[in-house]
Amino acid sequence: MLLPKLRQKWQNLGHSLLQGMAKSVPKACLLCQQPHQQKYALCQYCYLEYCQPWAHCLSCDKPISKNALLCAACCQPKHIVISACHYHSPLGQQIPSFKSGWQLALQPVLCQLLQQRIRLFKQAFPQIKINSLVPIPSHIYKLKARGFNPAWVIANDLSNRLSTPLVDDKLFKIKPTQDQAGLDNKQRQRNLLGSFHCRHNLADANIALVDDVYTTGATINEAAKALGLKQAIVCCWARAKR
């Protein structure tokens, strides 16, 4: 019981620090650096340019027909992925600065865009239910080093926006792993093998996994295996394809 309590303590501390520091975020556009008076951290031009969910695939963000919501490649996926943007887009390239540099102004921008895309997805596919949000957990060593879990911050924000329960006491990362950056698909699979543990089988709970970036799916595969899921619904800030 000690490890989950310690992990929760670190998450709460990191979240409190994020909230406190967010009050001092300057009013300069994240992308073009121009001063602005908009509600979020983008100027009106950049918001209209990069934050409109229409005419882009809700999963991979590729341009598509205005009459479609998913591109052909994403219509029959292994996992159902809903992303706010593509990782190599101007917004996606800001994510490392949030994870490692505490770029706090990025959170409301991408969470608002992800919220819009989730609502569009649920309208188009009402048979797919999302009853709770489960963040991909960080190992306690990573949590202590970074100070917060980005996936938990995203899931907590989405939980408030969508009025959907946050479930963060069922899935745990029990094995420290190497940083995924620079690893190919097979290396990622070996790296993550057996790294997650779930207290209960949640196969019939209609959950959505929440992460910051979806790349090869190796993390989601292992988390889904621990949860007893054959196919996972994934909500993430960005999707990157290798």
Rg for the chain (alpha carbons), in Å? 17
Render pLDDT for 116-140 as a digit per residue (tens, 0 to 9). 889 988 888 888 889 999 999 999 8
pTM of the model: 0.81
Distance between CA 69 and CA 35 in Å, rounded?
34
Mean pLDDT of the chain: 80
Of the pLDDT bands very low, low, confident and very high (cuts 50, 70, 90), residue 157 is very high
Residues 6+ apart with CB under 8 A from 71: 57, 59, 60, 62, 64
Cβ-based neighbour number of residue 16 at 10 Å: 11
pLDDT of 8 strictly over 70: no
Under the banding of pLDDT at 50, 70 and 90, the label for residue 185 is: confident
Of 199 and 161, the one with more pLDDT: 161
Whether 13 shows a pLDDT value over 80: the answer reads no
Q: pLDDT tens for residues 50-102?
A: 776 556 777 777 777 666 777 777 776 678 899 998 888 888 888 988 888 77
